[in-house]
Amino acid sequence: MRYSEPLSRILIISGVLLVLAVPFAAQAIGAQGVIEIHARMAESGGWTPSTIRAKVGVPLHLRMTSDDVMHSFAIGQSDTPAVDVLPGQMTDVTLTFDKPGTYTYYCTRWCGPNHWRMRGTIEVTGGDSASPPPGTPPLYVTLNLDIDAAHPASVTPVGIPQAQRGAQFADLLPTTVMSLEYYRSHSPAQAFEDLRVDPSLTSLNNSDLWDLIAYLWQSNSTPEGLAEGQRLFAQNCAACHGESGRGNGVFSVDIKSLAGKTPANFSDPTTMLGAAPALLQGKILRGGMGTGMPSWGPILTDQQTWNIISYLYTFQFNENTAAAGK
């Protein structure tokens, strides 16, 4: 019986340790499957980890915090709303993917000159892993456009063309220019040259004709599309290009020092009126080589890209008319 006292002590100590360990064990069990992500400005490392793996249909639990300034977390080509990632605070997000693939996540806050480098990937496997059918090449590829070459407009208007005035001439438009295919593959300056020699439009002076082209460009957009394009421009483009599109955003000086070029000036008629929507599509999807312009292909859907393009032309045309989308 001489061992009873030490044995009792051992049992008591073991019981106490077990009680103390239960909360920590519960915490560890509850944390299983939770991935902790730290956000830092791109110059300091960006997202850590930058690659996340998930399974189709299995909830992905993320716990995020910022180690410096405010960031945000958004999934490219997704309807999932962006969430802010704050310094010193944890933000929990649960995602479930219904298709395999590689998804890009990114920051939507203007966190620094290299803000656009705040990107990571989520590699989702499982489900129907069969290779998807090949998609249709982007229009700029189909048209074999050299998106790195200059495409200055051969002719520009005097003043700002007014779509509202151009609407009164809409019945004179030949059917050859009224298709979506024509709009996307021709610049406004090319449309001016085509319409200037059209016999049905000889009664219009140059100012009237530019108003008609403003109407034509606006008729290939919708109020909803323009609103989304404006929102996406403010969120992703204005930091460099400026809210007025003049290439004077808050990071424009930094971009010039890094790339040797200032961001594109969308208020310049020689540049913008010489650019077809398909050319701008290529710039957005692939990015500008050596200009500091990032690739937005993994981020934007096809329709979002066209909506941004429609919005860019509002820096050239006054499109204040209810005729949009006709």
CATH of the domain at 74: 2.60.40.420
How much is the pLDDT for 187? 98
How much is the pLDDT for 37? 97
Same-domain status, 119 and 180? no
How much is the pLDDT for 31? 39
Same-domain status, 284 and 251? yes
How much is the pLDDT for 256? 87
Give the domain-ending residue among 84, 102, 125.
125
Same-domain status, 167 and 303? yes
How much is the pLDDT for 132? 63
Does residue 22 lie within any of the structural domains? no
How much is the pLDDT for 117? 86
Give the domain-ending residue among 92, 125, 158.
125
Strand order in the sheet with 51-55: 51-55, 119-125, 101-106, 71-75, 83-85
**The dihedral of CA 17, 20, 22, 28: what is its sign?**
negative
Does residue 324 lie within any of the structural domains? no
Same-domain status, 245 and 281? yes
Domain containing 258: what range? 139-315
Does residue 321 lie within any of the structural domains? no
**The dihedral of CA 38, 39, 43, 48: what is its sign?**
positive
Same-domain status, 171 and 311? yes
One pLDDT digit (tens) per residue for the chain, 326 residues: 444 555 445 444 444 444 344 333 333 333 348 999 999 998 899 999 999 999 999 999 999 999 999 999 999 998 889 999 999 999 999 999 999 999 999 999 888 888 888 999 999 999 876 666 677 899 999 999 999 999 999 999 999 999 999 999 999 999 999 999 999 999 999 999 999 999 999 999 999 999 999 999 999 999 999 999 999 999 999 999 999 999 999 999 988 888 888 999 999 999 999 999 999 999 999 987 677 788 999 999 999 999 999 999 999 999 764 444 43
Indicate the number of domains in the chain. 2
Does residue 277 lie within any of the structural domains? yes
Does residue 40 lie within any of the structural domains? yes
The structure tokens listed for 213 are: 């082209």
Give the domain-ending residue among 68, 100, 125.
125
For residue 192, give every residue at least 6 positions away whose Cβ sits within 8 Å of its Cβ, in sequence order, or none.
Answer: 155, 209, 210, 213
Taking the mean position of all CA atoms in its chain, how far away is CA 117? 13
Does residue 261 lie within any of the structural domains? yes
Does residue 175 lie within any of the structural domains? yes
